[in-house]
Every structure is written in C-alpha cells, then in structure tokens.
C-alpha cells in the first residue's frame, strides 16, 4: 500500500497565523514553494496560504502585505491527511475539495506536503489524468 507519507515531500514549514504576508512571501521564496500551511498558537492547522492568495487577496486589493497577517487570509476549513492514509484517500480528499496541495500530519504534527508535482512523480498517467480532470474541470467553470 502506498501512503501519503510515501509520496509527500518532507520539510514543509508552518507560517504562524500572526506573521505578515510579506514574511510569508519571503519564506515561500526561501523554501521555493507556492504555499504554506498556517498554524495557530498551538501549532494546529488553521489554513493554507498560497502565493496567489497574497497577490490576488492582498496586493491586488490595495492592501499592504506588511500589515495583513496569514491568519487574516485563512478561510474555510483546512484540509489535511494523515501520513498513514492510502494514496486513494489522498486523491479522494484532493478531488472532493478541489485542492492542489495537501498538508500531511502525523501525531498531530506537520510532517510534509503533497503537491501536484508529488502526484506527478508517484501516480500512473491514468491516475494523474483523472485527478487533474476532477480538480481542474470544476474550477475552470468558476
């Protein structure tokens, strides 16, 4: 059985909810990632911040990224997967919620992240095509 822990990339880092978006952008640059899980004061997942969120939800709205926090950008219920979950559960979670990145949690701690690149490296062409069709076909109509 292939698990979330098998396909994730390790080294994912939180951005605390109180940190500003300019600091989040710097961290994304340092880590070479396009998304960061947002943690509350107890290091529990409270959202995911993407580079697009910073640009579209802050900068394009005329807000100062040095004054807006990651926590202010957190919307909805954050999705995550246990490290021991089967890859079919990973796909189901991502397809069902139309998400492209999924934090991986083990013993209530962030241990990694699954992105499109991770899926491309570990899935068959048919699995990847089905995933992309489910996630992108629905979002294209929004």
How do residues 79-123 score in pLDDT, each as one tens digit? 999 999 999 999 999 998 888 999 999 998 899 999 999 999 988
- Domain range for 84 is 4-140
Q: How far apart are CA 104 and CA 85, in angstroms?
A: 9
In Å, how far from its chain's centre is CA 2?
20
Give the CA distances from residue 67 to residues 25, 29, 44, 115, in Å, rounded to whole numbers and listed in that order: 13, 19, 23, 29
pLDDT of residue 132: 86
d(CA 122, CA 44): 28
CATH of the domain at 123: 3.10.580.10
Average pLDDT value for the chain = 90
Could you tell me the pLDDT band of residue 70, with boundaries at 50, 70 and 90?
Answer: very high
pTM of the model: 0.85
> How many domains are contained in the chain?
1
């Amino acid at each position: 059985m292939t698990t979330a822990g098998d396909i994730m990339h390790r080294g994912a880092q939180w951005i605390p909810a109180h940190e500003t978006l300019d600091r989040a952008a710097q961290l994304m640059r340092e880590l070479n990632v396009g998304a960061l899980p947002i943690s509350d004061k107890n290091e529990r997942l409270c959202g995911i911040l993407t580079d697009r969120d910073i640009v579209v939800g802050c900068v394009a709205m005329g807000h100062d990224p040095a004054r807006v926090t990651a926590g202010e950008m957190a919307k909805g219920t954050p999705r995550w997967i246990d490290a021991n979950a089967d890859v079919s559960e990973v796909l189901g979670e991502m397809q069902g919620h139309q998400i492209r990145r999924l934090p991986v949690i083990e013993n209530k701690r962030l241990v990694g992240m699954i992105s499109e690149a991770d899926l491309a490296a570990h899935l068959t062409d048919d699995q990847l095509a089905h995933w992309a069709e489910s996630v992108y076909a629905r979002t294209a109509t929004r």
